[in-house]
Structure 1
């Protein structure tokens, strides 16, 4: 989608490359991604906000264009929330949900209909706090302490669930390895002591990287004085596409 956004901006006389709050993997969805872009002399956020939506492809919406002082989409951020959708039913995931939720019973490497939600809740809760998540992310990301403020499981109806992870920052693939490895323990394919050792000491394990399509970057957070969104806009984002994956979240 970054390429589509940059093409739309160029068509409106904004040739600069955008700087996103963070890169998402191919196949990951983003609900409220934030980007920085330098406008040409004489242009304004208000004018661009009025012009740009007509240039955007389906599935890509524009919430707001604003110019907070001393703002940088990536370096000003102080937190993110990711959500990962899981289908825990015995039968196949319904067709309209299939592109946006992991079908655990039919996913190679998991293939289990015995995942209990309360088991997942217990495992995910062990991951909260400030720690080195080196066992759960690519080594290309800096190795440093990160804080996972909350990790919860929400029922969305029928057999659809959503893992919600909130923290001060996430390394590459960290969310996918956390969710996938918790599922691997819950299905009995990974001993829980390996999961605990990975969390407590960074010990490498044979984890599982959950597929990209179930993951949504839900929002990027900023200090109040820099936040480009009002509280109301965060609750009901203007310009948010109505089609999945946001309509059932």
Structure 2
């Protein structure tokens, strides 16, 4: 039976989600633990791949499993074997052709900025001392919803068929002792969110204007956009799917 597996991880110790030949990945750790407990080789296909050091508060992967026990018991056993920075939450039965990556209709990210030095944000937020004009940053963020080609924010030499993305919402808010950027789209390009944040921070610091952001997007030139901000402040927070993929008995 095919299941969607909901889990999270703290990305500091990993070179992203995807298994790599010479670097530790979340996929490698999880597949090894799954395979050990279920006594067969298990392959996990995730909703997407996060870059080195990026965190996921909610990630989804699919796998074809013959569970020897109740899913709740397997969750308990998996979490006892997995390292402290990876946690599995649930198994959701889905239709046999459901796909964690291709069936996802929305993905959401957050990026955290710490305006003051805070040791508790050392590995979870980007410490930026410069004052920021959030109103201008939000004005620039709203421009993203008016475009669909984001080649200017894509990692160079990325092998993708299209740079088109449907951004549904994007904006900044102040929350307690941090500044948070939230963005939701149907899909994201490699390094896209970190490049967007870097560009919007340039607006907030007065290095470029709101109008410049429009010019940057139209240019489709990565060298004209801002630098990619550090991975430690980025979180995958939500992946949404249509109800039609759920397996309903009867």
List gaps (5 residues or longer) in structure 2. 1-25
TM-score, scaled to structure 2: 0.79
The counterpart of 2:195, out of the listed 173, 177, 181, is 177
Partner of 2:125: 101
Q: Distance in 1 between matches of 2:109 and 2:35?
A: 30
The counterpart of 2:150, out of the listed 118, 133, 155, is 133
Q: Does 1:154 align with 2:173?
A: yes
What is the SS of the residue equivalent to 1:146? Answer: coil
Deviates more, 1:116-125 or 1:25-34: 116-125
Deviates more, 1:7-16 or 1:183-192: 183-192
The counterpart of 1:5, out of the listed 20, 25, 30, is 30
Post-superposition CA distance 1:121-151 (Å, at most 9, x none): 1111111244100000124133332111000
Q: Distance in 2 between matches of 1:203 and 1:7?
A: 40
Alignment of 1:27-106 (within 5 A): 27-40=53-66, 43=68, 46=71, 48-69=74-95, 70-89=97-116, 92=117, 94-105=118-129
Count of residue pairs brought into register by the alignment: 216
Q: Distance in 1 between matches of 2:241 and 2:135?
A: 32
What is the SS of the residue equivalent to 1:24? Answer: coil
Q: Distance in 2 between matches of 1:15 and 1:217?
A: 27
The two structures, once aligned, show a CA RMSD in angstroms of: 2.1
Q: Distance in 2 between matches of 1:154 and 1:194?
A: 22
Partner of 1:121: 138
Q: Does 1:225 align with 2:244?
A: yes
The counterpart of 2:231, out of the listed 205, 212, 223, is 212
Distance change in 2, residues 1:168/1:227 (3 Å): farther
Q: Distance in 2 between matches of 1:200 and 1:146?
A: 14
Distance change in 2, residues 1:98/1:211 (3 Å): same
Post-superposition CA distance 1:174-231 (Å, at most 9, x none): 1000011111222233454432112245244142111100000001110123369xxx
